[in-house]
Structure 1
Amino acid sequence: MQGVVYTPNLTHSNVYYQRQLGNYNLCIQEMGTDKPPTMCLWHEGIAHRGSVEVASCLLKWVQASFSPLVDAKERKLILYSDRYCGQNNNWRILNLMALLVSRRYFTEVQQKFMVSGHSFLPCDRSFRKKKKNLCSSTLYTPSDVVDMTLGARQQQPFNVLEMKCQDFRQLPDTTLRRPPGFLITSMMWMKVTASDPWCVHTKGSHSLYEGWKTCLVTKPRKNGPPPLPSFATSYARAYEDPVPIKKEKHRDLMTMLMYMPAEAQAFYEALECEE
């Protein structure tokens, strides 16, 4: 995810130390294709920025980009991400990988984690391009962040997915059994396959010479093969209502209204606030 973009980004001395609204951006870039990166945008009045939000963005992107496979067709997805445990390296994302295989979007899903300080993702280049545009933009509301993102590149503009409350789903993190001693944050490479849906295959490095270790993630049976992971056809919304803004931040935002146009004032006045 990109660093938080705050709105309104006013430069008036009276608002310099006041709290602003956080805007979040998850970038999904299909490497090896000429497709523009997809920016999933939302703000803190819609949702937080944890594993539920990352998994929901990935699921929405997959559903918009692919159809379930038919017959014996095969398709592989490889996710490259940093190792931030609260967003990318956790059981919810691993469950999502298994869910995508179960729903036949892919026959294999892998996740590779970058080495901190020694790796670079293409999304970082997209973030730099957007940040360069940010320095010369006046952003009053999240709508301005969307417009700024769409205009950050003249050629092949970014594809923007504006995430709404109903897009964030309480995707599971406990459908897969957690084997004793299995430390998910110590793995560098994981994969889930349709040919062996009962197991997760892991490596402690990116080496092609290291063999895969297999961990059973469904409940074993005394007689017969273990059951397949059982995923629901749909999941409840993670947020039934907009997320209330903290009282102190809401108070600061209200004091900035005099420096904003009427449309922006109406947006902030409509935000929910903690009691």
Structure 2
Amino acid sequence: MGLINLVKIKRRRHGNYETALDSKRQTSISYTVPNQDGNFVQVYRKTFMNIFDVTQKRLVGPIHFPNLSFHRPRVDTCHTCDRLNCEAKQNNSVGIKAKSQLDLHHRKVEKSMEYMRKETTDSQLPGSDKCCISFDLQQVLFVPTLTHSDMFYLSQLPCYNLGINLSDTNRAFMCMWHEGVSGRGGNEIASTILKVLNSGITEKKNICYCGVTTVWGKIKTECRHSFMCCDRDFALIEKRKRVMKAIIQNDLHKVITFAKYDPLFEVVDMSVNGFWDIKEAADTLLNTKNSNMSKAVRIKVDCKNPTVLLTKESFSDVEAWKQVNILKKGKTIGDLKSAKIALLLPICE
């Protein structure tokens, strides 16, 4: 098809027209194609259609192939990439430095994603003692489902969903609560994860991932670059939500439950037992100033000695683990185990 050329040939006008542009038959399409002898000949539409069984409009598509390029997304982007991309456009030393930093940033992303894929694959092998868990918050879900005209007069209730996915068993827990129960802070996230993990879903070594921080295996994936199993679950929920209307929160539970089959999503209503004020207990017993938590990409915690954190600032196997004791002076493990954690009061009260 690359040897076929389209040529417009002027034809004699039919009828009386004031200008030549008024005539619809002033030009005709001619196809230049090779014949059996290797020479190029011109044929017209009927002859071409009889030979190739294709019209001129369909032929123009492959010849004028569009430039399939994608624009950078305007929302939910990596702030580091956005800043370095702007600086890299400068033709000076700042631009050269920004290009090297951007390349290093992308290498870190690839390394973290490669590590996560490897651990996820290993956890699915028979006899594995690991369980890869990914968790993240979904975007806010609103009930009832309203059209744009109704939203002008009525208000909606924001509902929150923390998705927890177990890669080795392909189970997914959707922990839900609404704005009247509590917000989306650290206490709510920690209470939800603690409730699900203490329910006996697994007895293996937990390797947890999320977009910012995680637990055994705290794996800190680069922000806005990570794509985890829970993100795939959220996409299924959004797809199902388009065809099912949710009027109250229980309707939203049904939408999430049947968004996936074999196995179904397991919805956990967090408004029943409430949330714990873990931050107050942590401020009383723990001191994390020397842990350098903002730079750590991996954190390892042993259940036999939970007051010692092992941290790494890269995914390199050469780097040694750094030990940090996070227990405050004068406090013991007994104080940590016997600490009483109060329940958070609902916002509506």
Taking structure 1 as the reference length, the TM-score comes to 0.68
Structure 1 175/208 Cα, relative in aligned 2: closer, same or farther at 3 Å?
Answer: farther
* Offset, 1:64: 1.3
* Offset, 1:220: 5.5
Corresponding letter in the other structure for 1:49: R
For the residues of structure 1 that align with 2:316 and 2:285, how far apart are their CA atoms? 26
Corresponding letter in the other structure for 2:298: W
Aligned to 2:141: 5
1:47 aligned to 2:182? yes
1:211 aligned to 2:316? no
Q: Give aligned pairs, total.
A: 210
Tell me the SS of whatever aligns to 2:273.
helix
**Cα deviations by residue, 1:39-63 (Å, 9 ceiling, x for unpaired):** 0011111111111111111111012
Select 2:205's aligned residue among 72, 76, 79. 76
Corresponding letter in the other structure for 2:176: L
Select 2:296's aligned residue among 172, 175, 187. 187
Aligned to 1:113: 220
- 1 or 2, which has the higher strand percentage? 2
Corresponding letter in the other structure for 2:277: Q
For the residues of structure 2 that align with 1:149 and 1:170, how far apart are their CA atoms? 28
Determine which structure has more spread, i.e. the larger CA radius of gyration: 2
* Offset, 1:187: 1.2
Q: Percent of aligned positions with the same letter in both sequences?
A: 29
**Cα deviations by residue, 1:102-156 (Å, 9 ceiling, x for unpaired):** xxxxxxx331111124321100000000000111221111111101001111331
Aligned to 1:56: 191
Structure 1 18/185 Cα, relative in aligned 2: closer, same or farther at 3 Å?
Answer: farther
Alpha-carbon RMSD across the aligned residues, in angstroms, is 2.6
For the residues of structure 2 that align with 1:142 and 1:120, how far apart are their CA atoms? 28
Does the Cα contact within 8 Å between 2:309 and 2:324 map onto a contact in 1?
yes
Taking structure 2 as the reference length, the TM-score comes to 0.55
Does the Cα contact within 8 Å between 1:175 and 1:230 map onto a contact in 2?
no
Aligned to 1:102: none
For the residues of structure 1 that align with 2:238 and 2:227, how far apart are their CA atoms? 17
Aligned to 2:156: 20
Select 1:200's aligned residue among 309, 313, 328. 309
For the residues of structure 2 that align with 1:186 and 1:237, how far apart are their CA atoms? 31
* Offset, 1:212: 0.6
* Offset, 1:208: 2.5
Corresponding letter in the other structure for 1:201: L
Aligned to 1:231: 337
Tell me the SS of whatever aligns to 2:199.
helix
For the residues of structure 1 that align with 2:167 and 2:151, how far apart are their CA atoms? 41
1:65 aligned to 2:172? no
For the residues of structure 2 that align with 1:117 and 1:8, how far apart are their CA atoms? 30
Does the Cα contact within 8 Å between 2:287 and 2:328 map onto a contact in 1?
no
For the residues of structure 2 that align with 1:42 and 1:150, how far apart are their CA atoms? 15
Corresponding letter in the other structure for 2:292: L
Corresponding letter in the other structure for 1:188: V
